[in-house]
């Protein structure tokens, strides 16, 4: 099958004819796993390196530009839903022009056969989720690690917000640390929303609760559609908190318990878990976690400036 550009992805779905019955039919995930060792569009597909709600991520080689990429391939059933494909197209058009040292670049996207795919910069490193899992076994992480993560991702958010785009899915799983350069990069712009212009349409369904609830701001848990960049700042604070303490700020056994705590209960201060955290850095994290958006920092630029000040006070650069 050929490689379809984004603008005709919808047409490709509508033109697809009925499939012949086959038994047994492999699951969507099994179908995707079989892509390893094949070629999709102009990408030589390697092993699976990540799994998500919407599909799998492969380590692949871009044969056209001769470079490694992270190739995210969405589940086949996804491309059968016209509305889902429209959301995918809007998300990719939002993400592809963005370039920043602390954002994982999106190189391309399209539809080939039954598969919608996204080719991204390949980052050799680990996610903050993996780091937090390690903390649970080995003990607390040096606060400077969380500090640098917050500064790097804060700069990425300042850039994205400056383009009138909010991320809406800042979580430990979507922040990677490149092993060689030790640069933190924010990825997964699939849920990004353009705040103005031709990309203003809502990417997720109205009222839909999508993402890792542990890192959602109180306003996001209510399914509001008019959230702004301050929701990203809360999520940044929650991610930093988890790196400092080994747990999210408002843990709970059930979804209802988590949401109730996020809306109503102030988290314990990080110094309860790690005494070495400087007061000023703890103060930044706690302000990011304020329940009301107006009580947080109002812009990512403001957060970055405050973190730079904290760094100077403690002899740490980021």
Say if CB 200 and CB 189 are below 8 A apart.
no
Cα 164 from Cα 309, distance rounded (Å): 26
| pLDDT tens column, 126-170 | 999 999 988 765 667 889 999 999 999 999 999 999 998 999 889
The full set of domains in the chain, from first to last, is 17-121 (3.30.200.20), 125-314 (1.10.510.10)
The residue to which tokens 């795919």 are assigned: 117
Distances (CA, A) of 48 to 59, 73, 161, 269, 296: 6, 10, 32, 38, 39
User: What mean pLDDT comes out for the span 18-33?
Assistant: 60
> Which of 20-24, 172-176, 272-276 has the highest mean predicted lDDT (pLDDT)?
172-176
pLDDT at residue 193 above 80? no
> What would the mean pLDDT of 103-130 be, rounded to a whole number?
91
């Amino acid at each position: 099958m050929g490689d379809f550009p984004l603008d005709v992805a919808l047409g490709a779905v509508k033109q697809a004819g009925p499939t012949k019955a086959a038994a047994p039919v492999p699951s969507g995930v099994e179908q995707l796993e079989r892509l390893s060792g094949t070629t999709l569009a102009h990408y030589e597909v390697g092993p699976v390196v990540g799994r998500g709600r919407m599909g799998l991520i492969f380590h692949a080689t871009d044969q056209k530009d001769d470079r490694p990429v992270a190739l995210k391939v969405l589940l086949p059933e996804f491309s059968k839903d016209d509305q889902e494909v429209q959301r995918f197209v809007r998300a990719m058009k939002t993400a592809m022009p963005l370039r920043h040292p602390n954002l994982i670049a999106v190189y391309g996207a399209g539809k080939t056969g039954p598969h919608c795919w996204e080719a991204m910069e390949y980052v050799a490193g680990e996610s903050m989720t993996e780091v937090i899992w390690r903390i649970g076994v080995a003990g607390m992480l040096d606060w400077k690690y969380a500090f640098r993560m917050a500064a790097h991702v804060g700069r990425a958010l300042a850039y994205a917000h400056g383009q009138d785009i909010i991320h809406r899915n800042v979580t430990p799983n979507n922040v990677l640390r490149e092993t060689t350069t030790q640069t933190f990069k924010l990825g997964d712009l699939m849920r990004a929303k353009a705040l103005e212009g031709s990309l203003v349409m809502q990417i997720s369904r109205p009222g839909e609760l999508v993402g890792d609830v542990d890192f959602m701001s109180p306003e996001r848990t209510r399914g509001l559609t008019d959230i702004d960049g301050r929701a990203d700042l809360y999520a940044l604070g929650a991610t930093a908190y988890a790196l400092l303490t080994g747990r999210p700020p408002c843990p709970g056994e059930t979804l209802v318990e988590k949401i109730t705590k996020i809306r109503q209960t102030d988290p314990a201060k990080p110094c309860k878990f790690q005494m070495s955290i400087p007061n000023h850095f703890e103060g930044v994290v706690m302000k990011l976690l304020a329940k009301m958006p107006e009580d947080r920092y109002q812009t990512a630029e403001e957060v970055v400036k405050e973190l730079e000040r904290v760094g100077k006070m403690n002899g740490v650069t980021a």
